[in-house]
Structure 1
Amino acid sequence: MRILVAPDCFSGTLSAREAADAMRAGWSLGAAHDVVTELPLADGGPGFVDVLHGALGGELVPVTVHGPLGDPTPAVMLLAGAEGARTAYLESAQAIGLHLVAAGDRDPTRTTSRGLGELLSAALEAGARRVVVGLGGSATNDGGAGVLAGLGAPSARLAGGGGALDGLVPNDVAVVAALRDRFRDVDLVAAVDVDVPLLGLHGASAGFAAQKGASPEEAQHLERCLGHLASLVGEAVAGADEGPRRDLLAPARDARTTTRTLTQAPGAGAAGGVGFGLAALGARLLPGAAVVADAVGLAASVAGADLVLTGEGTLDWQSLHGKVVHAVAAEGLRHGVPVVAVAGQVLLGRREWSTAGLAGAYAVAERPSEVAASVADARGTLAARVERVARTWSRPV
């Protein structure tokens, strides 16, 4: 059989490349007669630049930015393409990632996305005509307010963290108009890791603030802060786009409608709402997994396989909202190729993962008591689980 191994990273333990290598080794032990091809993937979160660099080549340019708590943090941007038509690929997790903040210091009311704005500035200074920003795995919940600060907005309140946004006034975000002009001739793409909106039960604060260190009360406060930011930014964007109207009989742009459009866009809630902030600057929000899949040629690789093996750290509800596993499963359905997922933990029921298009889902840690051991030897336990999966799915010679 022709086996395609196409996983995401196993967050905190294995990069996508390391996971693919472990899965290949495990499958080869279980079915040595099969031909196994590796194709590491990413969804906009950690590993986004690494995967694209492996597929596209290009130049990695080091940039030092402010981290989530203001500390100097090393990051890189990937520049690909010919001079005058360069594309810059940026990874938000390198500048504002959750892994950059110690567990005891995690507080999305204080963390800022300023460093990502500084990365964006570096990309523009490098002459990039297209900028693709991978969003995911952030420590922030500031709706991209810090990005505005990193791009040169003079208001210090924008970089104060998600919990300080309720103190913003219209003048703080007036810079949005000038920044939209700055990006007007740049194809700005936000490659989001989840397709959630900015606000609401499935938004940035309700869905993800807790894992970044927020208490339930802080998450509610962050939701109100993001709502206030969204209202101000919506007014600024509507005003910037309105300008002098050529047709005086045409209706004026409604700031409320603009706000609703920006906040409800799929992916606006990605990276603590940075998706919203980039959309306000004119970015297109696209599924990160699809962006990477297109760049690395996933469709052709799936079409040439008999079975696809994918995976990630935890298979849960987020997996069905723009993550790699969902994208691979969808590609498998299009080509009539079965897709099997192996994850550190599987928190979805059979009905849920099969509805998403998976032919099978297997956990490395099948019981809570096994989680610690699987993390301690992530490569070995993943390879061992895949070896057993191979014996189930591979056809005998």
Structure 2
Amino acid sequence: MRVLIAPDDFGGTLTAQEAATVLRDGWLRAAPGSDVRLCPLSDGGPGFLATLRASLGGELLSVTVRSPLGEPVPGAVLVVPGAEGRPVTAYVESAHAAGLALVPPGRRDPAVTSTWGVGELLRAAVASGARRVVVGLGGSATNDAGAGMLAALGVGGPRSPLAHGGGDLGDILADDLGALADVRADLVGVELVGAYDVDVPLLGLHGASAGFAAQKGATPVQAQELERALGHFAHVAVGALAGAVRPDLLAGARSSAPVARLAAQPGAGAAGGLGFGLALLGARLLPGSALVADAVGLSDRIADVDVVLTGEGRFDWQSLHGKVVAAVAARALPLAVPTVVLAGQVDVGRREWGAAGIAAAYAVAETPEQVRESLADPAGTLGRRVERVARTWAL
């Protein structure tokens, strides 16, 4: 049996490469005659650069940037030469500068964490000579709608209220964003792409604040305050761009139309609204999982196997909105190749994952005791679970 193993990372416990190796070894223990092939994936979050470099090659440039708390941390830019006359592309992983793993649990507060370091990575990417820059969005500790990134690029500087987290954005004035149009104009010769991990808007029930701020340390009251602050920032920022934002011809003369269009587009709320900040600079927002899948030739790899095994730490509603498992299923279904999901926990019902084209979903942990065991030994518990899955599918 030919098996393609194409997982995302497992929630900070295993990288995509580590998970793929564990899944392969477990499968082969149960079905040693299988032809097992590895294809680690990413959705734009942690592991974005490592996954792309393994497939595309390129040069890795080291950069020291600010963490969400303003402390120096190592980052990187992957520069890949263009093929067949296409421009040089630089890839940036926002989690290198704004990642949740960079902030100790006791210091997590999305009202004060900043994306300033992402702006430093973006500057380094442009300085490399790349004419196309792709920013992976996901796994952030921030909720500032990219305001810190804009400040690092010259919209206000380090003393600006833009630079100190989402909590200050409710008091932003038009003067604070006076340089935004100039910074956007300076980047007009660079194609910017935001590769988001989840297709949520900036505001609303599933937006950056209401949907994700709690994961980053916010209380329910803080999440509501951040929602209001980001809404205010969005109106002021779009107003500062004046005629630079393309009008929506279907929206008539409503002054709120450009704000609604930029804030509501899929991916605007990714990485604490960093997608929206990139959109203010003229970036296109695309699903990171689809971008990586295309880069590694996922469809061709799936076409040559009998089953594809994917997975992640938690298979939940987010998984069906731009994550790796959805991208895998979308490519496997037209090829009549079954997609099997193996996750630390499964919080999606059969109807939902079946509608997404997934043939089966298995959880490593289903009880609190099993969750604790899984966190204590992620590789061992995942390996034992995939052995049981392989006996179902390979024998």
1:362 matched residue in structure 2:
362
1:129 matched residue in structure 2:
131
**2:168 is equivalent to residue 164 of structure 1:** yes
Q: CA deviation at 1:240?
A: 3.1
**2:326 is equivalent to residue 332 of structure 1:** no
**How do 1:1-397 and structure 2 match up within 5 A?**
1-82=1-82, 85-155=87-157, 156-241=160-245, 255-394=255-394, 396=395
Report if the CA contact (8 A) 1:342-1:364 is conserved. Answer: yes
Show CA shifts across 1:133-166 (max 9, x none): 0000000000010110111222511101000001
Return the alpha-carbon distance in structure 1 between the equivalents of residues 383 and 134 of structure 2: 33
Q: CA deviation at 1:254?
A: 5.7
Report if the CA contact (8 A) 1:234-1:255 is conserved. Answer: no
Q: Which stretches of structure 1, 4 residues or more, deviate above 4 A after TM superposition?
A: 251-255
Q: The residue matched to 1:41 in structure 2 has which SS? A: coil
Return the alpha-carbon distance in structure 2 between the equivalents of residues 198 and 384 of structure 1: 40
Q: Which amino acid aligns with 2:257?
A: T
Q: The residue matched to 2:167 in structure 1 has which SS? A: helix
Q: CA deviation at 1:373?
A: 1.2
Show CA shifts across 1:243-300 (max 9, x none): 9xxxxxxx99764211111000000000000000101100000000000000000010
Return the alpha-carbon distance in structure 2 between the equivalents of residues 289 and 241 of structure 1: 27
Return the alpha-carbon distance in structure 1 between the equivalents of residues 122 and 246 of structure 2: 26
Q: Which amino acid aligns with 1:144?
A: G
Identity of aligned residues (%): 59
Return the alpha-carbon distance in structure 2 between the equivalents of residues 366 and 206 of structure 1: 27
Show CA shifts across 1:203-240 (max 9, x none): 00000000000000000000000000000111122333
Report if the CA contact (8 A) 2:110-2:213 is conserved. Answer: yes
Return the alpha-carbon distance in structure 2 between the equivalents of residues 362 and 121 of structure 1: 42
Show CA shifts across 1:319-339 (max 9, x none): 011000111111111211000
Q: CA deviation at 1:349?
A: 1.5
Report if the CA contact (8 A) 2:69-2:114 is conserved. Answer: yes
Q: CA deviation at 1:44?
A: 0.3
Show CA shifts across 1:351-395 (max 9, x none): 12111111110111121211121122111111111111000011x
Return the alpha-carbon distance in structure 2 between the equivalents of residues 43 and 87 of structure 1: 18
Report if the CA contact (8 A) 1:42-1:324 is conserved. Answer: yes
Q: The residue matched to 2:256 in structure 1 has which SS? A: helix
Q: CA deviation at 1:347?
A: 1.1
Return the alpha-carbon distance in structure 2 between the equivalents of residues 227 and 236 of structure 1: 14
Report if the CA contact (8 A) 2:156-2:177 is conserved. Answer: no
Report if the CA contact (8 A) 1:198-1:276 is conserved. Answer: yes
Q: The residue matched to 2:135 in structure 1 has which SS? A: strand
Return the alpha-carbon distance in structure 2 between the equivalents of residues 240 and 32 of structure 1: 60
> Which TM-score applies when normalising by structure 2?
0.95
> Which TM-score applies when normalising by structure 1?
0.95
Q: Which amino acid aligns with 2:74?
A: P
Q: Which amino acid aligns with 1:229?
A: F
Q: The residue matched to 1:351 in structure 2 has which SS? A: helix
Return the alpha-carbon distance in structure 2 between the equivalents of residues 255 and 237 of structure 1: 13
Distance 1:353 1:69, change over 3 A: same
Q: CA deviation at 1:85?
A: 2.7
Show CA shifts across 1:72-111 (max 9, x none): 1111110101599321100011110001000010000000
Return the alpha-carbon distance in structure 1 between the equivalents of residues 150 and 374 of structure 2: 40
Q: CA deviation at 1:182?
A: 1.6
| Higher mean C-alpha displacement, 151-160 vs 5-14 | 151-160
Distance 1:118 1:385, change over 3 A: same
Distance 1:253 1:173, change over 3 A: farther
1:247 matched residue in structure 2:
none
Distance 1:373 1:241, change over 3 A: closer
Return the alpha-carbon distance in structure 2 between the equivalents of residues 174 and 317 of structure 1: 39
Q: Aligned residue pairs: how many?
A: 388
Q: The residue matched to 1:209 in structure 2 has which SS? A: helix
Q: The residue matched to 2:267 in structure 1 has which SS? A: coil
Query: Unaligned stretches of 5+ in structure 1?
Result: 244-250
Report if the CA contact (8 A) 1:191-1:285 is conserved. Answer: yes
Report if the CA contact (8 A) 2:245-2:258 is conserved. Answer: no
Distance 1:65 1:17, change over 3 A: same
Report if the CA contact (8 A) 1:193-1:323 is conserved. Answer: yes
Q: CA deviation at 1:241?
A: 4.6
Return the alpha-carbon distance in structure 1 between the equivalents of residues 279 and 255 of structure 2: 15
Report if the CA contact (8 A) 1:235-1:256 is conserved. Answer: no
Distance 1:309 1:360, change over 3 A: same
